[in-house]
Amino acid sequence: MRSERKNARPIRVVAAAVTFAAVLLITVFSAFYAEHRACDAASFSGEVVMEVSSGRVLHAVGERERKYPASTTKILTALVVLESLPLGLTVRIPAQAAGVEGSSVYLKAGEEFTVEELLYALMLRSGNDAAVALALAAGGSIPRFASMMNERAKACGAEDSNFVNPHGLHDDGHYTTALDLARITAEAYKNADFRRIVSTRSTVIGEGESRRYLANKNKLLGTFEGANGVKTGYTKKSGRCLVGGAMRKGMQLVGVVLDRYDMWAAMKDIFTRAFDAYEMRDVLSLPHFSGEGECAEVRFDERGEPVPARVPVLRSGEKIGVRFV
């Protein structure tokens, strides 16, 4: 009996050690798996933060990967419409626009709204029906309007995008990249009417039985300091997409996160990091570009003023020069 008891104690110690090792291994593996799962999830997203006036990219991950933009497409739709039609023009809703699938403001054939009202429906409530009505008013047909979209996108510097509809409902041939979408949005932000519309929290459009109350779906407005736009998007193929806009201390940023389930938190994080890291500096206070470090390309307008007049520079210090073109 005594010999049995002596042998039992080491067995219990060994068993405990084995159990501890197994638990430790599982814990380490779980942490490793969680970390890599998070990395894998992030690798599927495209992210960009850009300063609007200079076009300088302050943050980018997967920025050139082709993605489906879903309703963030409507940023380009709005830009093309704003440059093609007067805001006060009355549009009679065609039958083709009534009953479009997906997000809608439930337009009825024969109703009448101004271009401006339909732009509010497009950008605040993501109305696919409003997108079709505007596209037909501006282009006469969806294919013609898509051609207008692609032409304008290329003029914005979008190098790897193709648009086939004005709303972003899925089509394998309808794609963009985070960088292209940032460039398109930065161009749209130069339009004062665009900025006003996408920063509106709520509004009312129409009269009588056509009267509709519209509340903006963009949760950044009112929850993030300086937020002033711009558009959400979602389809099963695109995942959750968000293009945001925010201004602090004279620095206007646009941000893009594509195929990101935590798009709101991700956007706030990349915006916060950019605002904390950069500040705007007058271009004439920067040295001439020496061939090393970052370069800001500046031209002079007809009044002799530099364009852009200011550029974002790292607060911690950065070798950045100016080249006049």
| Catalytic annotation present for 71 | yes
Q: Which of the residues 53, 54, 104, 126 is marked catalytic?
A: 126
Query: Going along the chain, which residue ranges are E strands?
Result: 46-51, 57-61, 90-92, 112-114, 202-205, 212-215, 227-235, 239-248, 251-258, 278-282, 294-300, 306-307, 310-314, 320-324
Q: Characterize 257-284 residue by residue with b for buried, 16 or more Cβ atoms within 10 angstroms of its Cβ, and e for exposed.
A: bbbbeebbebbbebbeebbebbebbebe
Tell me if the domain spanning 44-324 has CATH number 3.40.50.720: no
Lowest mean pLDDT: which of 28-42, 67-81, 146-160, 256-270? 28-42
Question: Across all residues in the chain, what is the average pLDDT?
Answer: 89
pLDDT at position 302 over 60: yes
pLDDT at position 15 over 80: no
pLDDT of residue 44: 55
DSSP letter for each residue of 146-203: HHHHHHHHHHTT--S-B--SSS----TT-BB-HHHHHHHHHHHTTSHHHHHHHT--EE
pTM for this prediction: 0.86
| Catalytic annotation present for 53 | no
Specify whether the CB–CB gap between 229 and 195 falls below 8 A. yes
Q: Which of the residues 53, 54, 71, 161 is marked catalytic?
A: 71
Give mean pLDDT, residues 138-151: 98
Task: Determine the straight-line distance between the first and last CA of the chain, rounded to whole angstroms.
Answer: 96
Cα–Cα nearest to 254, from 267, 241, 269: 267
Residue with tokens 């380009």: 76
Angle at Cα 254 formed by Cα 102 and Cα 101, nearest 5°? 5
Cα–Cα nearest to 71, from 217, 261, 274, 201: 217
Q: Characterize 139-165 residue by residue with b for buried, 16 or more Cβ atoms within 10 angstroms of its Cβ, and e for exposed.
A: beebeebbebbbebbeebebeebebbb
- CA–CA separation, 214 and 203 (whole Å): 5
Specify whether the CB–CB gap between 191 and 79 falls below 8 A. yes
pLDDT of residue 48: 98
Kindly report, residue by residue over 207-223, the tens digit of the pLDDT. Answer: 999 999 999 999 999 99
Give mean pLDDT, residues 278-290: 94
Cα–Cα nearest to 127, from 149, 98, 89: 98
Residue with tokens 């593996």: 29
pLDDT at position 6 over 90: no
pLDDT of residue 291: 87
Q: Which of the residues 53, 67, 74, 238 is marked catalytic?
A: 74
Q: DSSP code of 221?
A: T
Q: How far is CA 317 from the centre of its chain?
A: 28
Specify whether the CB–CB gap between 135 and 115 falls below 8 A. no
> The tokens of 166 are what?
């004005």
Cα torsion 143, 146, 147, 148: sign: positive
pLDDT at position 305 over 80: yes
| Catalytic annotation present for 43 | no
